[in-house]
Chain A
Amino acid sequence: MSEKTEKTERLSVFKTYKLYVGGKFPRSESGRVYEVTDSKGTWLANAPQASRKDARDAVVAARKAFGAWSGATAYNRGQILYRVAEMLEGRRDQFVREVAGAEGLSKSKAAAQVDATVDRWVWYAGWTDKIAQVVGGGNPVAGPYFNLSSPEPTGVVAVLAPQESSFLGLVSVIAPVIATGNTAIVVASEKSPLPALSLGEVLATSDLPGGVVNVLSGRTAEIAAPLAAHQDVNAIDLAGADEVLAKELEIAAADNLKRVLRPQPVDGGDWSATPGTERMTAFLETKTVWHPTGALGASGSSY
């Protein structure tokens, strides 16, 4: 055996990136894909180019998931969000690679983004059972009444993820929406959708019920328009919309009085700062419940 063994480089296995809707991984019903490249123009993958129909399917899935997710205990939601952080940590290398490719970052800078993203999930996981105490409470009304205000999730929220920050920005807009009990349809960054699509795989293995988060990739304007106009969507976060698109979508959203979170100064910028509570309160309603306290008499309470 004197012959030299020819050492061939192993051919890697590509991943077909798919949408994440209702806990499943469909291709776009339109059959369309678009080419995703890194910052130098090198081909990375063909991402699904979601259609209006995909958007509507996602709304159906999000609505279906809303009852159980909003009705879950805050503790349970916190456990599940923390589980997401654990799953992310385990896939750290994959996300470092994807974020580096998407955003043209060095490996160490991409790693810093991924670490910050995991920490952000942990931050929001802890909020699930605290936000109600911070923004709700008893009201000292001038009468014999028990009166309590509590925050409740708005419902189905369409989220246009930031276009630049493909992972930290993405998670910074998804986590507050679902931590508070809403369900989400996320439109991934148009040019850098891969971290978002991979996030779907993490969510699918984190005990998060299917439909709570639905991830669509494609042309932001094309997918966002039907979501902004959809009668069964309750709110929309315009983080990933430019000025012209944001105005158009806000006008469409007025049709059923969606709660609109306009593009904030942070969008497109640096997401590293610890957030405030605004992204949670933007998608919370306040419910106030009254009941007479009455007076204790021989026959008990009277009102």
Chain B
Amino acid sequence: MAFEYAPAPESRAVVDIAPSYGLFIDGEFTEAAEGKVFKTVSPSTEEVLSEVAQASEADVDRAVKAARRAFEKWSALPGSERAKYLFRIARIIQERSRELAVLETLDNGKPIKETRDADLPLVAAHFFYYAGWADKLDHAGFGATPRPLGVAGQVIPWNFPLLMLAWKIAPALATGNTVVLKPAETTPLSALFFADICRQAGLPKGVVNILPGYGDTGAALVAHPDVNKVAFTGSTAVGKEIARTVAGTRKKLTLELGGKGANIVFDDAPIDQAVEGIVTGIFFNQGQVCCAGSRLLVQESIHDELLESLKRRLSTLRLGDPLDKNTDIGAINSAEQLARITALAEQGAEEGAERWSPACELPSSGYWFAPTLFTNVTQAHTIARDEIFGPVLSVLTFRTPDEAVAKANNTQYGLSAGIWTEKGSRILAVANKLRAGVVWSNTFNKFDPTSPFGGYKESGFGREGGRHGLEAYLDV
């Protein structure tokens, strides 16, 4: 018999969300020039969490000017002093991590288990890592005394709001740049709380500016003539638009875009571990992960056995209240994203793939999508080609390693891939041939501040993390 779980909700009381937030410019919260605001809701309940100022072009200009003013002093600080500010920020994030984890779960919809055990520890670690670089840049392999670029315009997505902020801000500040950052319109709150952390850390005003807004705010930031560096994480379509915008300028550009990662399981793989890796690969963060293993390539001889295990495992996943510590699958981030996932899944069925989901009750309010897998998928199917960015796995088969590699690489993307086999030489041979920036072998979706992350082909260019991540913010 199966034991029932008692509810184990994390307390909301640890976070105090104000009814409204302004833009964070030059060290102050201020209203938007045009007075516009937008609401941010909790995706699991559709409850309005707060009302947030929406930055316009005039606000972008104000923020860029503040960042420019701050740049002179900030970049001239000894690296060891910049380092200490970043160490302070890292420590304050650790101190406030429970509050921030709950906040992130409320605003994003992902399970508290993930914000608590993955997002927040990685956020703090990222600031610690780059803090240590600030006074060691001469030794980073980019020449003696490499110079910062100036003002960095950064636009981040909603799937890992605070973690993507950390990936952008930590290396930018360590190298002496100042920052104007636009969080996603559905998840602005953790970035605004970060503004408060900057205040607590005593960070000089103007070094970090936070501008909540929609796509037009991001477009204005990217196009601003006094921005020296553009960093974007988001969709490939928007990434291409940004690349066109900065064409012909001296703005340095890094792009972290979409993916359609192949997770390849060979017939000698340890099935139980592989099943866990497949689940992590596509259902972590409801599959709203650019490096998700959204295409399962399984060797034909073990297809049935693996699918049986996988289905059994999916039946044990717990979907529901993201604040419950036992929840595995939280809410989809927005109604818009839910509509996109729903439409693509329907298309998968229409095109002839076989759809399966475990028995799973969806809450009556909020944005929810049951874990879903498709079998009998071919490479021509839309669900094998387009990034779904949701908890939907497409299962394809192969017979030989060469076929696996060819199928894995048959995509416009090139962000991640997974390999499951007990044979070491096969791992290395296959890893060598995969055109992807991150290859997880016998594991999946692992991240670390020391480990460079980024894509091949239309998954973008530039790397975040590690020594490599410094290059994006240095004049080299």
A interface, CB within 8 angstroms of B: 134-135, 139-143, 145, 147, 149, 154, 234, 243, 246-247, 250-251, 253-257, 259-260, 262, 276, 278, 285-292, 303
Docked-complex contact A145 and B446, CB < 8 angstroms? yes
Q: Given A145-B446, A291-B442, A286 and B457 touching (CB < 8 A)? A: no
A–B Cβ pairs within 8 angstroms, 30 of them = A135-B141, A135-B468, A139-B448, A139-B450, A139-B452, A140-B450, A141-B450, A141-B451, A142-B450, A143-B446, A143-B448, A147-B448, A149-B468, A154-B456, A234-B457, A251-B244, A253-B247, A256-B412, A259-B461, A286-B452, A287-B431, A287-B434, A288-B451, A288-B452, A289-B439, A290-B446, A291-B441, A291-B443, A292-B442, A292-B443
Question: Would you give the shortest CB distance from A220 to chain B, in whole angstroms?
Answer: 17
Q: Which of the segments B63-71, B200-208, B235-243 contacts the partner chain?
A: B235-243
Q: Is B384 an interface residue (CB 8 A)?
A: no
CA distance A58 to B38 in the complex (A): 52
CB closest residue in chain A, given B412: A256
Return the chain A residue nearest B250 by Cβ. A262
* Chain A hits for B141, CB < 8 A: 134-135
Residues of B within 8 A of A135 (CB): 141, 468
Chain B nearest Cβ from A164, distance in angstroms: 21
Does B110 touch A at the CB level, under 8 Å? no
Determine the chain A residues whose CB is within 8 A of the CB of B239 once the complex forms. 257
Instruction: Check if B358 is an interface residue, CB within 8 A of chain A.
Output: no
Let me know if A285 and B446 touch, CB within 8 A. no
* Chain B contacts for A145, CB-based, 8 A: 443, 446, 448
Say yes or no for B248: interface residue by CB 8 A criterion: yes
Q: Is the interface of A mostly helix, strand, loop or mixed?
A: mixed
With beta carbons under 8 angstroms apart, the residue of B247, B257, B463 that contacts A251 is B247
Q: How far is the CB of A215 from chain B (nearest CB, A)?
A: 26
- Assess whether B468 is in contact with A290, with CB atoms less than 8 Å apart: no
Contact A257 B255 (CB under 8 A): yes
The 3 closest A-B pairs by CB, nearest first: A247-B248, A254-B243, A250-B247
Q: Which residue of B lies closest to A243 (CB)?
A: B248
Q: How far is the CB of B329 from chain A (nearest CB, A)?
A: 24
Partner of A287, one of B241, B412, B437: B437
Residues in A whose Cβ lies below 8 Å from that of B440: 290
A257 in complex: contacting residue of B427, B443, B453, B460, CB < 8 Å? B460
When the two chains form their complex, are residues B240 and A289 in contact, meaning their CB atoms are under 8 A apart?
Answer: no
> Which residues of chain B are near A278, meaning CB under 8 Å?
476
Residues of B within 8 Å of A139, CB to CB, are: 448, 450-452, 466
By a CB distance below 8 angstroms, the chain A residues around B247 are 247, 250-251, 253-254, 260
Select from chain B the residue with minimum beta-carbon distance to A231. Answer: B412
Expressed in whole angstroms, the Cα–Cα distance for A135 and B458 within the complex equals: 22
**Please, which residues of chain B bring their CB within 8 A of the CB of A257?**
236, 239-240, 243, 255, 257, 457-458, 460-461
A289–B448 CA distance with the chains assembled, in angstroms:
12
- With contacts A135-B141, A257-B461, A278-B476 taken as known, whether A286 is within 8 angstroms of B454 at the C-beta atoms is yes
